[in-house]
Amino acid sequence: MHSIPSAILGKVVRKHNSNYYYKKIPFRVDLVTLLYGVFSYCNGLRELCEGMLGCEGKLNHLGFDKAPARSTLSDANTKRSYLSFESLYFELLHQYHSFISDSRLKGLSIRNLKIIDSTTIQLFSEILRGVGCNPLNEAKKKGGIKVHAMMDAFSGVAEFVRMTEARTHDRKFLFHIELPANSFIVFDKAYNVYSQFAKWTVQKIWFVARMKDNAIFRVTKVMIDNTRKKNAKGVLKEQYITIGYKNTNTAPLRLQLRRITFKAYDGKVYVFITNNFKLPAAKVALIYKCRWMIELLFKQIKQNFPLRYFWGNSENAIKMQVYCVLIAQLLMVVIRKKSATKKSFANMITLIRLHLMSYIALFEFIKDTYKAWRKNNSTPLAFSP
């Protein structure tokens, strides 16, 4: 809990009045309990509470003397607003953003690169509407929650999050994003909204995306054409194009973009579009390559934290658990940076899970486990014959 300053906790509690109706389980106790469940990978509320019961002799240093009852924790997860956990996540992000940011992104000279994507989490209930066909044999349709995220490429954490029903189209997320001028944003073809691209062009917000296969456009100028070269790789073609779009009830408008055809070394051909006319075409392809960082973020979260089973059936409890997972992921990024370890994220999570309630020097133990163990066990063991 040293990584979560008490001043930030107090600020969140005052903002949302988080303790007013929940005196039996204050916000801090609720947070610590849920983070215990996240780090120990508990798949149910009973498993979480019984695990905390076994740690009652070690809870004093966390600020409380006994584990909360399952019914008390269940009521808090249903009634205490998830907005308290959302605010805590973004307060912690503001606190640590400059510390975890890495300005040395491979081969890129731009300052502000954001990546957008979404991931769907299936729910075995109809809390939120899912996607896909209706099941056979009168079975219930699975619900689903879609987590839309905007990731900062230089810090490796989500900077903006919005949760919707799984059936909500990805492109609607674009209308909720606010970015300063000269920002770069990269996303897949599912987010192609030309009216929004036109607004960004006026605001000097630059995007890189893949072009839809069925897009209708007109070529106005050809800048590069290497398609006739034998075994050509890299930038095959660069074109200036115009695309028509509608804006409210006005007549169709035209948007000027760059269209870049790029052939990767594995032979796969990509077609990118961007509203930035100054970057070299190869740099545009490199920016789009960074989009896979958010796929790795989603994989990192889903594989190392409990998001297959939820500790409550309400929409509020589900969103609360998602934000607790995001808080845990952010804390792990901070701890990894402070300890200067070369361990993988998964290895570090496993180590913390095994020693969650052990009295160890965390940063030393993560940086070099064997060296820290030898330091704490310098006295040789005596074996009797």
pLDDT value at position 384? Answer: 37
pLDDT value at position 382? Answer: 42
SS3 content of the chain, % helix, strand, coil (to 5): 40, 20, 40
pLDDT value at position 233? Answer: 86
User: How does pLDDT run across 7-51, given as a tens digit for each residue?
Assistant: 999 999 999 888 877 777 888 888 988 988 888 888 888 888 888
Cα 262 to chain centroid distance, Å, stands at 28
Residues 314, 143: contact at Cβ < 8 Å? no
Residue labelled with tokens 């990805």 = 170
Whether residue 136 has pLDDT greater than 60: no
Whether residue 259 has pLDDT greater than 90: yes
- Band of residue 153 on the pLDDT scale cut at 50, 70, 90: confident
Most confident option among 119-123, 321-325, 363-367, 373-377 = 321-325
Most confident option among 117-121, 206-210, 251-255, 315-319 = 206-210
Taking the model in full, what pTM does it have? Answer: 0.83
Cα 47 to chain centroid distance, Å, stands at 26
Cβ neighbours, 10 Å, residue 67:
21
Picking from 305, 339, 327, the residue whose alpha carbon sits closest to that of residue 91 is 327
Average the pLDDT over 339-350 and give the result: 81
Between residues 228 and 122, which one has the greater pLDDT?
228
User: How does pLDDT run across 159-211, given as a tens digit for each residue?
Assistant: 999 888 888 888 888 888 889 998 999 999 888 888 899 999 999 999 999 99
pLDDT value at position 106? Answer: 60
* Rounded-to-integer distance, Cα 26 and Cα 52, Å: 16
User: How does pLDDT run across 84-131, given as a tens digit for each residue?
Assistant: 999 999 999 999 888 888 766 666 677 788 999 988 887 655 555 544
Four-residue CA torsion sign, 176, 180, 181, 186: negative
- Band of residue 326 on the pLDDT scale cut at 50, 70, 90: very high
The tokens describing 138, both together, are: 């009168």
Between residues 167 and 284, which one has the greater pLDDT?
284
